[in-house]
Amino acid sequence: MSTSRVFVARLNGLSVFDPLGDEVGRVRDIVIGTARRATQPSPPVFGLVVEIPGRRRVFVPMTRVTSVDTGQIITTGLVNMRRFEQRRGETLALAELLDRRITVGNDKDDDNPSVPATVVDLALDLQRNGEWWVTKAFCRKGGAPERRRGLRLGRRSGETVLVDIDQVSGLFLTGPVQAADALLEAYEGLKPVDLAEAMHDLSAKRRKEVADALGDDRLADVLEELPEDDRVEVVSTLDIERAADVLEVMQPDDATDLISELPDALAELLLQRMEPDDAAPIRRLLTYEEDTAGGMMTTDPIILGPDASIAEALAVVRREEVSPALASLVFVARPPHETPTGKYLGAVHIQRLLREPPHEAIGGIVDRAIDSVGAQTSLAVMTRQLAAYNLVALPITDAQGRLLGAVSVDDVLDHLLPEDWRERDRTGEAADV
């Protein structure tokens, strides 16, 4: 059954369908107007930000919404496929209004004096003229909840109340600091690349607030997916110690790319604040040209000795933090097994590991036909070798035959695509939905 009242937090992630039942995308935010008219005492709801296939976010006007049922939204008409861009006089309910510090009540009313509160949710009501308005705010009275970075376990004391929107002051006023708990809850299931896309659409202030609230591991994953300008901005606004901690948990090649984009003074300061063992491979990678194997490689591929068992190798590639590309090959070398290693012996494909008895040593199944390349090898040569031998990772060695690292196919794609590929708007025409 279609409803005439919905709450913002419940709309997040809902599937949007056309009249024929085909899914258009999923709701990622709600666009609300900040100006009110005398004939419209409540803030108007302009439309939905919908994520369609290809991770493009488009705008769907509320005038195209014909039904809001349990678990789905039905639309009609044409959807403009141009990427959504926020305009003056608009605000995003999920990204900008939830967790906002407000005042509830009226000091002129002795029975209802004004008190500080935090927005937990907003109610949207369908009017007789077919428009949607923000009519009520679900709030938590009292000070801002305490929280620990990366955890939503903050103390949430205070009375919760549902109040008419005309009892709320400061809904559209940005304060010096705004929490991001509710926003992160809404983005809970997003992959790093999708969270980066969402953060890219936020204001610089809101991006910093979200970055401050994320745990180090999660922020590191997101930074790897953000456009260059955004990640430089985020890292530049972090506390130095925090920024160093985040760089330490990033893959060395990704951390090197980020460090190289920063001003020289800030880059050197961060390297000095990092643990020496984490800073050393980054300093080494910075000595190579960007479009060479040395400039693109990670110094932390999977490396084992020839005496390691197949069971041990499978346990290592199974680790959650290992990317699929690097998990495809186990590199075999003489001790030491940290780059630069002892003599590089070859590699073992994960498929071969799955076909052999777990107790056997990997030294007996090493593929010595996977040729390594030098650190100065060009992007074009690496691309041809990956394609010719159907590989998703390539070993990089020095003149002494020691393994320096590996270049994965995703790193190659990053350099083959245009520099602004993360930001480039995909062209599209209006489509019937």
Question: 83-110, pLDDT tens digit by residue?
Answer: 888 888 999 999 999 999 999 987 666 6
Buried-exposed string 299-323: b where 16+ CB fall within 10 A, e elsewhere = bbbbbbbbebbbeebbeebeeeeee
- Summarised one tens digit per residue, pLDDT across range 390-433 is 899 999 999 999 999 999 998 898 888 876 665 554 444 444 44
**Can you tell me the mean pLDDT for 308-328?**
93
Residue pair 100/178 in contact by the 8 Å Cβ criterion:
yes
Q: Where are the domains of the chain?
A: 5-84, 195-200+220-287, 303-416
* CATH, domain range 195-200+220-287: 1.25.60.10
Query: Is residue 156 very low, low, confident or very high in pLDDT (cuts 50, 70, 90)?
Result: low
Examine the pLDDT at 68 and tell me if it is beyond 90.
Answer: no
Q: What is the pLDDT of residue 86?
A: 87
DSSP 362: G
Domain 303-416 - what CATH class? alpha beta
Concatenating the DSSP letter of every residue in 238-259 gives S-HHHHHHHHHHS-HHHHHHHH
User: Across residues 184-194, what is the average pLDDT?
Assistant: 85
pLDDT at 431: 43
The confidence score (pLDDT) of residue 143 equals 64
Q: What's the pLDDT score for residue 423?
A: 58
Question: pLDDT at residue 234 above 70?
Answer: yes
Q: Which residue has the higher pLDDT, 160 or 156?
A: 160
Average pLDDT over residues 334-345: 95
Q: What does R_g of the chain's alpha carbons equal in angstroms?
A: 26
Q: Which of 241, 245, 240, 265 is nearest to 255 (CA)?
A: 245
Cα→Cα distances 333→38, 176, 178, 239, 341, Å = 76, 54, 51, 39, 7
150: pLDDT confidence band, cut at 50, 70 and 90?
low
Residue 35: strand, helix, or coil: coil
CATH class of 5-84: mainly beta
The length of the chain, given as a count of residues = 433
* Range with the poorest average pLDDT among 47-56, 181-190, 199-208: 181-190
| pLDDT, the chain, mean | 87
3-class DSSP state for residue 287? Answer: coil
Across 40-54, 174-188, 401-415, least confident range = 174-188
Residue with the larger pLDDT of the pair 142 and 374: 374
Q: In this predicted structure, what is the pLDDT of residue 425?
A: 45
Does the pLDDT of residue 186 top 90, yes or no?
A: no
CA distances 419 to 364, 382, 386, 415, Å, are: 43, 19, 21, 7
Share above pLDDT 70 across residues of the chain, in percent, rounded to a whole number: 90
Alpha carbon distance 283, 129 (integer Å): 64
Looking up tokens 């390297």, which residue turns up?
271
Mean pLDDT of 372-390: 93
Digit-coded pLDDT (tens) for 288-316: 998 899 999 999 999 999 999 999 999 99
pLDDT given at position 345: 96
Place of tokens 């780059």: 339
> For 18-22, 39-43, 288-292, which range has the lowest pLDDT when averaged over its residues?
39-43
Q: Has residue 79 got a pLDDT over 80?
A: no
pLDDT computed for residue 198 by the predictor = 86
Span 107-134, pLDDT tens digits = 666 666 789 999 999 999 999 888 999 9
